[in-house]
Structure 1
Amino acid sequence: MHPTELLRQFEEKARAVQTVVRRVSHWREAVRYAVDLTVERGGRTLAPMNLPPEASQSLEDATPIGTVEILRPPLRNHLQDIHTGLTPADWAIAETGTLVLDSTSEDLRIATMLSEVHVAVVPAGRIRADSLELKGEIASLQKNGPRYVAFISGASRTADIERVLTIGVHGPQELHVLILEEDAS
């Protein structure tokens, strides 16, 4: 499947499960989005995990003093305080609008599962047609021992209480996926 079609399909499927999808041209824009979203939603904290160096520097520049506190590991010390988690995603699956993250790090799991809002950044070139295309890549992760690989499709939801759909019971209330354009670093 052509990369443009993969991107279009991913966006369509992700939006179908109430995921907010945006395209960004660089990490600086992604960081600014996460900080602005945190402020807009009334949040006071941001937990950035496993960001590349250029994103970490952008985080310092994008956070006005006194607006958003940047939470640092260990996040176990902030379990009740995380408003927004900002993480990279390793891959995305176009067929289902799903993100795939190597979540072996406890801090990454906490940022993605215990935040009110999760902002994930995935490079456009890491979108695959379906989960079968990830078989080899996930197997290569296992070479260094067992891994915790998370597949995330939309915000947390359940309908097990009298069949009433409830959002955010077992994880974030909102999922925002920022697709890093192909030509971006």
Structure 2
Amino acid sequence: MSQGEILESMKAGAEKVAAVVAPAASLDEAITYAVNLTAEEGGTTMAAPGMVGAAREALASACAEKGIVLLESPLRAHMNGIHTAFTWADRGIADTGTLVLNSDSEELRLATMLSETHVAVLPTDKVVPDMDALEGYMSDHFKKGAGYVAFITGPSRTADIERILTIGVHGPERLHILLADLADGGDK
């Protein structure tokens, strides 16, 4: 399977579970997408755990231009007020449209579980065709003593015994995946 076919499979798999998938030619484009989406949705806050350096500075500047508050740590102080989580995904599983996030940081777990909208930047070279292709990565990851890995497939959804589906009860109502062609994986 070519990388192009893998990316098409990722897009199709994610869209089947109500995620929005869009390309991002650069990190700046991903930042613009996330900030504009937050503003369009009427959001006033964004959390970007793990985003540091030039990327964080660019995000802070873009947020300020739109009147969006870029939340600082600790995110526990903002648990009821995270509109958008803007994160990196460590891997993607194409056949199910699943994101894989190394979630050892409580900040990352809070942002991705408590936000209304989650925008994840997924480098195109980090997408694998299926779970079997992720085995080596997961094995190496757990040998390092990692404690938490999140597998995110679409926005949060739950149903009760009467089969009434509700979106966003146990996590974000909306998931946007930005497939980013970042040769160096970007500057977190």
Matching residue's letter, 1:21? V
CA contact (8 A) 1:103 1:109 kept: yes
| Offset of residue 123 of structure 1 | 0.5
Compute the displacement of 1:85 (Å). Answer: 0.2
Q: Is the 8 A contact 1:27 1:58 kept in 2?
A: no
1:168 is aligned to 168
Would the aligned equivalents of 1:27 and 1:54 in 2 still touch at CA under 8 Å?
no
Query: Which residue type is aligned with residue 5 of structure 1?
Result: E
Output the amino acid matched with 1:144. K
Structure 2 vs 1, CA of residues 60 and 102 (structure 1 numbering), >3 Å: closer, same or farther?
Answer: same
Worse-matched range after superposition: 139-148 or 67-76: 139-148
Deviations 1:20-77 (A, max 9, x none): 0000011111111111111111111000111253421221231235710010111111
- AA in 1 matched with 2:154: G
Q: Using a 3 Å threshold, how does the CA distance of structure 1 residues 180 and 66 change in structure 2: closer, same or farther? A: closer
Residue 139 of structure 2 corresponds to which residue in structure 1? Answer: 139
Conservation of the 8 A alpha-carbon contact between 1:28 and 1:54: no
Residue pairs, 1:100-139, within 5 angstroms: 100-139=100-139
Matched residue SS, 1:95: helix
Please name the residue that 1:19 is paired with.
19
How many residues are treated as equivalent by the alignment?
A: 185
Greater mean alpha carbon deviation, residues 91-100 or residues 154-163: 154-163
Aligned AA (1:69): V
Question: Aligned-pair distance for 1:135?
Answer: 1.2
In the TM superposition, residue 182 of structure 1 has moved relative to its aligned partner by 5.0
Runs of 4+ in 1 over 4 A off after TM superposition: 182-185
Aligned-pair CA distance for 1:183: 4.6
CA RMSD of aligned residues (A): 1.5
Letter in 1 for 2:177: V
- Scaled by the length of structure 1, the TM-score of the pair is 0.95
What is the CA–CA distance in structure 1 between the aligned matches of 2:23 and 2:171, rounded to whole Å? Answer: 24
Percent sequence identity over matched residues? Answer: 47
1:144 CA displacement: 2.6
Is the CA contact (8 Å cut-off) linking 1:116 and 1:168 kept in structure 2? yes
1:53-68 to structure 2, matched below 5 A, reads: 53-65=53-65, 67-68=67-68
- 98-107 or 62-71: which moved more? 62-71
Q: Higher mean Cα deviation, 89-98 or 54-63? A: 54-63
Are the aligned partners of 1:141 and 1:147 in contact in 2 as well (CA < 8 Å)? no
